[in-house]
Amino acid sequence: MAELIAELLAFAVILYVLWRYVMPPVRKITRDQQESVRKQVEAAKVARERLGSAEQKYQEALAEARTEAAKIRDQARADAQRIVEEMREHAQREIERIRQRGQAELESLRLAVIRELRTQIGTMAATMATELVTGHLADEAKRSATVDRFLDELEAMAAPESPVPAGRGGA
């Protein structure tokens, strides 16, 4: 029994030494580990919250970017439509200007052609009249008839009430 008591006493001393000198550092290490795990859990929660917040901000930014892209696209379409309309108006003005200039040139050319034709017709008429008169006066009988007719017309103009004599050999 003495051996049992000695063993119990040795066991109690070992327990006391363990309890007094080993357990406090083990408890401290355990508490530190628990504190470290608790901090990691809290950091994980904060990280999860940050991740959620970042995802939400990302989704908001993405939605805002899509909205902005749609606005830019709509603005670009509106600008393109405005440019097309401006170009159409400019083209219409240019067409009208060219048409008016063409009409003015056409009128100018028409007048020039009319002047040229009048000049040519006058020249041709004078030439033909000269040829006709020359041909007509070349014949002695025709020349006498023309002079007689001219004289008859002069007499008729001098005496409008008297009848024209019929025996002169008119043309």
How many structural domains does the chain have? 1
Q: Is residue 42 part of a domain?
A: yes
Question: For residue 51, is it within any domain?
Answer: yes
Domain assignment present for residue 149? The answer is yes
Average pLDDT, the chain: 87
pLDDT (0 to 100) of residue 124: 85
Residue at 132 is within a domain: yes
CA distance linking residue 170 with residue 97, whole number of Å:
65
Q: What is the pLDDT of residues 135-156, one digit of tens each?
A: 777 777 877 888 888 888 888 8
Per the model's pLDDT, the better-predicted residue between 97 and 124 turns out to be 97
Q: Is the pLDDT of residue 170 over 50?
A: no
Q: What is the residue range of 27's domain?
A: 2-158
Contacts of 144 (CB under 8 A, 6+ apart): 169
Does 42 score more than 60 pLDDT?
Answer: yes
CB 144 within 8 A of CB 138: no
Tens digit of each residue's pLDDT (9 = 90 or more) over 13-25: 999 998 889 889 9
Q: Is the pLDDT of residue 77 over 80?
A: yes
Q: Are the C-beta atoms of residues 165 and 139 closer than 8 Å to each other?
A: no
State the chain's maximal CA–CA distance in angstroms. Answer: 204
pLDDT tens, position by position, 43-65: 999 999 999 999 999 999 999 99
